[in-house]
Chains A and B, each alone.
Chain A
Amino acid sequence: MRDVAVIGVGMNRWGELWEKSYRQIWTEAALEAIADAGVDRVDALYVGCMSGGLFVGQEHLGALLADQLGMGPIPGTRVESACASGGLAFRQAYLAAASGEHDIVLATGIEKMTDVDGGAATYALSTAADQEYECYHGVTFPGLYAMMARVHMHRYGTTREQLAQVAVKNHAHGLLNPLAQFRSKITVEDVLESVMVADPLRVLDCSPITDGAAAVVLAALPLKGTRRPPVKVVASAAATDTIGLHDRADLAWLRSTEVAAASAYARAGITPADLSFCEVHDCFTIAEVMVIEALGLVERGKGGEAAASGMTALGGRVPVNPSGGLKSKGHPVGATGIAQIREAVLQLRGEAEDRQVQDARWGLTQNMGGTGASSVVHIFGRV
């Protein structure tokens, strides 16, 4: 396997992009990444997208987007792993470059979620759970994470305020990200007074519905004359768990994240204590709490204290979600995993401006599908 680096990144402002089409937001991000990389071709493209069919009535995305890119009949591959589609698309692009099959590969993610109404969007997202044995009974995604939250609170004493602190922190970070969907400061009181969606989770515990795309260019090392400093893909790992939450022995533990992270740390030869920052899948506040436990940043059951103590804030011991996370930056599901990697690259280049983590050396990204039935973990470092 060859060493591989990310040599270019691209992303547009996320939000309700009613004036822009699916293909337009994707192409904008792709062209920006290609320009940032300074390359005149890509040999293949990968696109992470959860549900083009349900959100915009469009499948066959590899071909559609290769056509839009105008770089000839290159292979185009769509990768789907629910909300982890972007992370897994990046992993496939990485493997394509590392294997020697392709030299320059475009890895992208996209979701356009606001062309349909809230009910249809909720239905599309629910297809990441077990349709026959979870959704059939009327449970929603906030409901599934709420059930995980209730176990965590019951067993470890995690408080409602601690969950709220995750949202407060990520919104504070998102204020510093010009591309974030919700650039607004919120308080613990705002979270606790927001509308209840599925007890104990309120609307400000939830990531939003978003239109957006992101893209990165990967290339096999060694490189000569890259435009921007390359950032090395130090480790790539993925794992799965049961599709149904009820089939897990421990409802408050993300085994797929634990397994993928253990594999990534072993490959990278580092420990959680070496990480300068993490971009993690905070689709709900409880998700970030459970993810940082599974990544080994804190002990099992201690995730609730991290945001409240400042440990995971910018300036803390290991900033988590300096981009604003899914909560503030937005969560166009297929694009999320790629946007996390874009943030990691900017941080390691020292180009993250007001949200720059000082002396960033190692960055980890964790992207998760469903209630954690799939997880993808990458570790990045300076070349």
Chain B
Amino acid sequence: MIGSARYWREIPQRYRYEAAKCDACGKIHFPPRLVCSACRGTAFGKIILAPQGEVETFTIIRVPPTGFSAEAPYAVGIVRLDDGVKVTAQIVDVDLGQLQIGQRVRVEFRRVQKEGEAGLLCYGYKFVPVEA
């Protein structure tokens, strides 16, 4: 169950795609963290992730977790963004039979899950294909 405080805390990442760039070495962390995993730096600047990237791998979820049953089957992938950051998200508005590694995609703001009958509507980023 996603409580409202837990949901609210992640809004800068989920709604605005905010990440942290290490002042010392330039590594980008998404979500932001307190210590850089590359250089142990602790000072970061706020950046917005690249809007496009390509699919590094993906799967089609046919046995979905709770909260996603209305959407199955659906594609989930790991997208390598043009700034080098990799994120896990759904890939939508795509023919599931045609999706391939290397597909160019761009980010869109969508509803991600619906928590229970009267629960939170949870929003965030998903990816859609970009024609070459």
Chain A residues within 8 Å of B, Cβ to Cβ: 119, 122-123, 126, 132-140, 142-143, 146-148, 150-151, 154, 195-201, 242, 244-247, 251
Contact = CB atoms under 8 A, between A and B. Distances in A.
Contact of A150 (B2, B58, B90): B58
Contacts of A199: 59-60, 62
A147 B64 contact: no
What's the dominant secondary structure at chain B's contact region?
A: strand
Interface residues of B, number: 36
Contact of A246 (B65, B78, B124): B78
Given A150-B58, A246-B78, A251-B56, A137 B65 contact: no
Given A133-B31, A133-B88, A246-B86, A140 B57 contact: no
A134 B64 CA distance: 13
B122 interface: yes
Contact of B61 (A139, A200, A251): A139
Interface string B48-63: 0000000011111111
Nearest to B126: A137
Contact of A138 (B31, B57, B65, B101): B65
Contacts of A138: 61, 64-65, 67-68, 71, 74, 76, 90, 112-113
Q: Across the A-B interface, give the 10 residue pairs with the lowest CB-CB distance, nearest first.
A: A146-B59, A246-B86, A147-B57, A199-B60, A138-B68, A198-B59, A139-B76, A246-B78, A143-B59, A151-B57
A200 to B, nearest CB: 8
Nearest to B122: A136
A245 B88 contact: yes
B89 interface: yes
Contact of B65 (A140, A195, A197, A244): A140
B88 A196 contact: no
A197 B63 contact: yes
